[in-house]
Amino acid sequence: MTVVPALRGAALAALPVLAAAHAAPVVTTFGPLRNRVTPRLAGRGRAGHVALTFDDGPDPHSTPLFLGALAARGVRATFFLLGGEARRSPGLVREIAAEGHEIGVHGWLHRPLLLRGPRATYDDLARARDLVGDLTGRRPTLFRPPYGVMSSAAHLAARRLGLTPVLWTCWGEDWTARATPASVHRTVVRDLRGGGTILLHDSDRTSVPGSWRATLGALPRILDTCDRRGLEVGPLCEHGWAGSRRTA
């Protein structure tokens, strides 16, 4: 009769260890530490290049405006798409690809991966990857986790699915109610260095309504700053980082 309590006690004692194993990679989400310890995950590339990335689309109200702004400057970027949003706007997904931009996956739903088990994590990523592949004729090879928080399950699922996780080295904090074009530009360039990866949002699907307007307003200023610093701007596939896979 003492066996069951003993087993229960052992199981409870193991919970912190299991939780730590599941959440261990979360340390890589903290910018300064991540950039030093895991430059590949942070998206560190060649010194004269900056990777421009957008999360949370596609959004039929805002994404076309970003595509127009990028086309006007002759700049291509990487768009990390949510599967659920891609399903709602399949034509827009094809348009992003047709204009020469790189597409990665941001999961199917914008939910923290630490709250999911291995099976649910795998299914979420696989569903998003397969949909984007079906819509564009090319399976994505890049993955950015929601909120930038990885888990052991996410690392394993991404590896099985041929997806390389990549985060960022600087962002615009463009999802908040206080964001303005000036604040987004200022926040990005504060940490902008050659070889860095910029995170912005082309959608307000998971942000404050209308927040994308600040991002759109900041985009020309960010590109101007890169030009003044002699930095080439492009997608991750041209970034020269350890996780890039140049496509034909």
pLDDT digits (tens, 9 = 90+) for 71-114: 999 999 999 999 999 999 999 999 999 999 999 999 998 888 88
Choosing from 22, 49, 55, 202, the catalytic residue is 55
CATH number of 46-238: 3.20.20.370
The Cα 80–Cα 125 span in angstroms is 12
pLDDT(39) > 70:
no
Q: Catalytic: 55?
A: yes
- Residue 92 confidence (pLDDT): 98
Contacts of 183 by beta carbon, 8 Å cutoff, 6+ apart: 172, 173, 214
pLDDT band at 141 (very low <50, low <70, confident <90, very high): very high
Supply angle C-alpha 107, 198, 170, rounded to 5: 105
Question: For residues 131, 215, 170 and 70, what is the CA-based torsion angle, rounded to 10 degrees?
Answer: 70
Choosing from 49, 201, 204, 239, the catalytic residue is 201
Q: Catalytic: 201?
A: yes
- Residue 40 confidence (pLDDT): 72
